[in-house]
Structure 1
Amino acid sequence: MTELASAQERSVVAYFSMEIAVDPSMPTYSGGLGVLAGDTLRSAADLSLPLVALTLAHRKGYFRQHLDANGIQTEETQPWDIESQLTAEKPTVTIVVEGRPVTIRAWRHDVIGVTGHTIPIYFLDTNLERNDPRDRILTDHLYGGDGDYRLRQEAVLGIGGARMLEALDYRPIVYHMNEGHAALLTIALLEKQLFGSPLDSADESTVEAVRRRCVFTTHTPVPAGHDRFSADQSNRILGPERTHTFERLGCFHDGLLNMTYIALRFARYVNGVAMQHGKVSRAMFPEYRIDAITNGVHAATWTSPAIQAAFDRHMPRWRQDNISLRYAIDIPEEEIEQAHRESKLALIEAVKERTGVQLRPEIFTIGFARRAATYKRCDLLFTEPERLVKMAHEHGGLQVIYSGKAHPADEPGKAKIRRVIELAKELDNADLTIVYLENYEWQLGALLTGGVDLWLNTPKRPYEASGTSGMKAALNGVPSLSILDGWWIEGWIEGVTGWAIADHDTDEGEAASLYEHLEQVILPLYYTDQNQWKRIMRSTIALNGSYFNTQRMIEQYILNAYFPEHRRDHSAAALEPILAQ
């Protein structure tokens, strides 16, 4: 049996995601959702899970961000050489979009785990000469174009992806929709279940046969974040028969075809991405049962080289067994501090190369790097600028490093970036330095989460579904100061893994709590009690790094979502019959 045939025979879970961060040189992701997908696949490979993944090629990437001296963002495309970086597959499939045949091909990239297990990712591509010019560009831009472009893309991912798996001789028993972008795979499965009979003949038993094979992860805690399309768009792009079927099966909401409702209707298991997000999702969709599996990050990907070396000396199997990071509590504090200093110096060098600004390693450094959406409140730290300047002067200095892109169409988000950069200029002095690094991406994110002293997170509750940047920081011994939302509700132990900004009805109230923590606790601790600060770094790794990783997350998916029939009293026993396939 060939290696490919063996992989296909074992690939019983099919994972669909609109974006997947596979490699820093491949701009196939925009941010958190794609990075999570990539980390998920890396941990699935580490665990030898029989899984195959589908996404789109995104030939022109998301966008490269440029910021001028005034903080005005401009964007340029990120074309990459797909032909030289991926392997072309022979089969093609054809779907009908807006009445036109659209041919799809696939390119393969293998993710190889620590044990050598391979997980194939297939990048779907419509850039073929036989396609209409309007359709050749459907797999060019991640989250680009208008609503019509998005619905066509989602048809390529969902319907085209399901058919491509069949053409490649995969026979998944579980289809995992990572967010609602992939929900149209359900109509392809429904059509296959009917063996050529019209969709109007689908009854509840047919739907149930599809439901038994589908699981759905929702990431969006606000209704506006769920993809919705008009009945006209659905009729025109997907066709009247599919549109009528979705309407008949309750997948329209407020007169719109709602991708989240499609996924909810056709999934036997649904989960949010943190305990709190599960609660928010159940309140949004009370007619559905929604569980929670808290996100994680791939430990070996997001741990800095210096910290990895420390782990290797004391816990040599930590890559295979992330829970062993719990034993970081036995690493000498001086080793963790020295490793962090190396990471901080690497960050400082990167800042100098990118901006010309020379930061100082002895100065307390805060990191804030997120998508520049308004609810993330990147400017909350500047609610009382004079107070920030004063605390920097009184406590020994303060450095703040910002980074983050605003979506090209998000003018309020772009305004937030301009505001931070304006304030950075106004407040700059010998005690306070603020820099904003353009083009936030994978490698910069790793430098930031590994090299700062404190990770700041200030979303407006309850809009943070999970968040993962603070988890990456925790793996590197960097504690968080954060609003109690998303994952931080579960990871927060006051003064042990970081600090919580108190809930308040106003931005000003929460900013006051932020300032109080910095003035009264964090800065005095860092500058006057380094021994205790080192203990906090170590406990952050041991308590949060050992839990908030995608290895633990994947094990929960296996037991709760993919193969609940294999549950045992101990997860290791439950995994054996699955991983032995």
Structure 2
Amino acid sequence: MSNEKSRSIAYFSMEIALESAMPTYSGGLGALAGDTIRSAADLRVPMVGVSLLYRKGYFFQIFDEEGNQSEKPAEWVIENFLIKTPGRVTLNLEGREVIIEAWRYDVLSAHGFVIPVYFLDTDVEGNDEEDRVLTHKLYGGDARYRLCQEAILGMGGVRMLRNLGYNNLHTFHMNEGHASLLTVELLEESARQEGRSEVDQADIDKVRRMCVFTTHTPVPAGHDQFPLELVKEVLGQREIFELKNVFCHESMLNMTYLALNLSDYVNGVAKRHGEISRLMFGGYAIEAITNGVYAPFWVSPPFQELFDRYIPNWRDDNFAFRYALSIPLEDVWRAHLEAKKLLVDYIARKTNIALDMHAFTIGFARRAAAYKRGDLLFYDIERLKKIARYHGKIQIIYAGKAHPNDKEGKELIRRIFKAMDELKEDIKVVYLDNYDLKLARLLTAGSDIWLNTPRAPMEASGTSGMKAALNGVPSLSILDGWWIEGCIENITGWAIGKAPNGDDFDFEQNGNSEDQEDAISLLDKLDNVILPMYYGDREDFIHVMLNAIALNGSFFNTQRMVQQYVLNAYYRYRALAD
């Protein structure tokens, strides 16, 4: 599109991961947002992105010898990555006019198409000290701080786009509920355009047609909500607050319900997650677009070289990964060992721990949250030792941050460190700090198998296993999220436990019996299937690697995902009209 200001789609996300050293993300949500924008640029989607500028990042992670996590602000030089724009708007928060400025990052496709991403900043001259820090920390502070941030993102984001000249936007995509206050700004904008001070049904209908909402978590605690008293203190008394069927849910501002009420297209991020979301939010039409990952970013250099030789159009056509089945097995294994060496060398430099290039290596890197059960592998440590002694060496690599206020997540890390000490004579276990994009690329490509152990049905999608699949690394995972769609047993990888039973799910379960069943299944699969194949029938193992690339890599990518958003969500009315 020649005229950038005629962009028609605005993509809002609380976090966007664009560069490893640019700490504007914490994990999967941000990585997905960055991958989405990269693919949108490749496909020349007329998009503009909006997020917040976190001068202190998420946090810099520090461990002591027992695995106690502490945090420091993440230091970075903004000017090394971003360009300040002339845009400046204000937003009234707690009765104060808060000035918002924007910094720009250009996502450039290989074909020269640019998608600008604007990071909103309140640390500007003229603001009170308490307002200057409002955009400093990602997922930091108390409820008041979070509400201010979400108002800056949603309401301030719309104002900033208008100020910068983006006046032809017809679709506003909320990547999770954090940005849903943009609907309030759009409603009030619509009323003003019609010369009214009050919002009416015509404004609601108009805004609903403009909004797309993607929900990312089936965990009830993951949906932000704020008391109405706090909302009125922060945002002031507004007429829209009285629209109970739009703005309120159970006398709270629930950001998910606000987005649901004012979006014409809503989707979960995997087929199963769509089903769960329809059960959670009865009465709402919720579709499903399964997540993906951006292949040119996540394919490791050794596999990029391999694909360039055998599948030369893989970057432009991710469906071409299906031709991976014709790549010679020895070439695949050679590329895998090169990727594994990159990981092993990195760990040696960073930790002074020497891992064995030829030992079976399990990778696990997720946010350290209790429901992700990062320590499930250690449920029966003695059996794990026996498996290693019988079949061959096992080494395990962990990474992941616990939110600073998540006591259970921090305790999970300590349990992994304790298991690391108990296993030190038999199995090497490494926990790498400060999991970021750079480390994720090394880990997902250099492991022999990718482990994922969430308590179903709490995994909305998960994308780390998709990144691994692109590099020929099969998953060993609970059948939840994307893996329900991606798992063909003994073909693309292996399942832990049983498949979900229809609509049967329970968020309040204590999980003890389920943990035991899943842990036994995990160890059984390693003992009876995977390790015998890895050490005893390498050719069969490489066939699984190739299937992971051909079957999962060709589908679970953002090229396919963005095309679905374009057809099903962004241009849905145009498609219906045609």
**8 Å CA contact 1:98, 1:239 repeated in 2:** yes
- Superposed displacement of residue 244, structure 1: 2.2
Is residue 561 of structure 2 the alignment partner of residue 553 of structure 1? yes
Is residue 242 of structure 2 the alignment partner of residue 234 of structure 1? no
- Alignment partner for residue 350 of structure 2, among 330, 350, 354? 354
**Amino acid of the structure 2 residue aligned with 1:550:** T
CA distance in 2 between counterparts of 1:482 and 1:244 reads 44
User: Which deviates more from structure 2 when the two are superposed, residues 147-156 or residues 88-97?
Assistant: 88-97
**8 Å CA contact 1:114, 1:320 repeated in 2:** no
- Superposed displacement of residue 441, structure 1: 1.0
**Amino acid of the structure 2 residue aligned with 1:282:** R
Q: Which residue is 2:359 aligned to?
A: 363
- Superposed displacement of residue 84, structure 1: 3.5
Q: Which residue is 1:89 aligned to?
A: 85
Instruction: Please list the CA deviations of residues 209-237 of structure 1 after superposition, one character each: whole Å capped at 9, or x if unmatched.
Output: 11111000000102211010011111100
- Secondary structure (helix, strand or coil) at the match of 2:246 reads coil
**8 Å CA contact 1:453, 1:479 repeated in 2:** yes
- Superposed displacement of residue 242, structure 1: 5.0
Instruction: Please list the CA deviations of residues 74-122 of structure 1 after superposition, one character each: whole Å capped at 9, or x if unmatched.
Output: 1111132113321111121111111110111111110011211100000
- Secondary structure (helix, strand or coil) at the match of 2:3 reads helix
Q: Which residue is 1:486 aligned to?
A: 481
Q: Which residue is 1:541 aligned to?
A: 549
- Superposed displacement of residue 439, structure 1: 1.2
Q: Which residue is 2:460 aligned to?
A: 465
- Secondary structure (helix, strand or coil) at the match of 1:160 reads helix
Identity of matched residues, %: 54
**Amino acid of the structure 2 residue aligned with 1:469:** S
- Alignment partner for residue 521 of structure 1, among 514, 521, 529? 529
**8 Å CA contact 1:200, 1:241 repeated in 2:** no
**8 Å CA contact 1:393, 1:432 repeated in 2:** no
Instruction: Please list the CA deviations of residues 233-280 of structure 1 after superposition, one character each: whole Å capped at 9, or x if unmatched.
Output: 1110011215624x5333322221100011001100000000011011
The 5-angstrom pairing of residues 95-174 of structure 1 reads 95-170=91-166, 171-174=168-171
**8 Å CA contact 2:176, 2:213 repeated in 1:** yes
**8 Å CA contact 1:235, 1:243 repeated in 2:** no
CA distance in 1 between counterparts of 2:215 and 2:8 reads 21
**Amino acid of the structure 1 residue aligned with 2:4:** A
- Alignment partner for residue 307 of structure 1, among 286, 303, 309? 303
Q: Which residue is 2:504 aligned to?
A: none
**Amino acid of the structure 2 residue aligned with 1:530:** R
- Alignment partner for residue 455 of structure 1, among 450, 455, 474? 450
- Alignment partner for residue 15 of structure 1, among 11, 30, 33? 11
CA distance in 1 between counterparts of 2:514 and 2:135 reads 42
**Amino acid of the structure 2 residue aligned with 1:501:** I
- Superposed displacement of residue 334, structure 1: 1.1
Q: Which residue is 1:434 aligned to?
A: 429
Aligned residues: 564
Cα distance change of structure 1 residues 244 and 200 upon mapping to structure 2, 3 Å threshold: farther
- Secondary structure (helix, strand or coil) at the match of 2:107 reads strand
CA distance in 1 between counterparts of 2:290 and 2:360 reads 30
Is residue 218 of structure 2 the alignment partner of residue 210 of structure 1? no
Instruction: Please list the CA deviations of residues 402-430 of structure 1 after superposition, one character each: whole Å capped at 9, or x if unmatched.
Output: 1111000001100110110111111112x
CA distance in 2 between counterparts of 1:24 and 1:462 reads 30
CA distance in 2 between counterparts of 1:84 and 1:534 reads 42
Instruction: Please list the CA deviations of residues 53-94 of structure 1 after superposition, one character each: whole Å capped at 9, or x if unmatched.
Output: 000011110001111111010111113211332111112111
- Alignment partner for residue 259 of structure 1, among 244, 255, 262? 255
**Amino acid of the structure 2 residue aligned with 1:562:** Y
Is residue 53 of structure 2 the alignment partner of residue 45 of structure 1? no
Q: Which residue is 2:469 aligned to?
A: 474
Instruction: Please list the CA deviations of residues 164-203 of structure 1 after superposition, one character each: whole Å capped at 9, or x if unmatched.
Output: 1111111211000000000000111101100177987322
The 5-angstrom pairing of residues 184-199 of structure 1 reads 184-195=181-192
Is residue 399 of structure 2 the alignment partner of residue 399 of structure 1? no
Is residue 432 of structure 2 the alignment partner of residue 424 of structure 1? no
**8 Å CA contact 2:199, 2:240 repeated in 1:** no
**8 Å CA contact 2:191, 2:197 repeated in 1:** no
**Amino acid of the structure 2 residue aligned with 1:412:** E
Instruction: Please list the CA deviations of residues 409-461 of structure 1 after superposition, one character each: whole Å capped at 9, or x if unmatched.
Output: 001100110110111111112x4211111111111111100000000000001
After TM superposition, which residue ranges in structure 1, 4 or more long, deviate above 4 angstroms? 196-200
Q: Which residue is 1:272 aligned to?
A: 268
Is residue 336 of structure 2 the alignment partner of residue 328 of structure 1? no
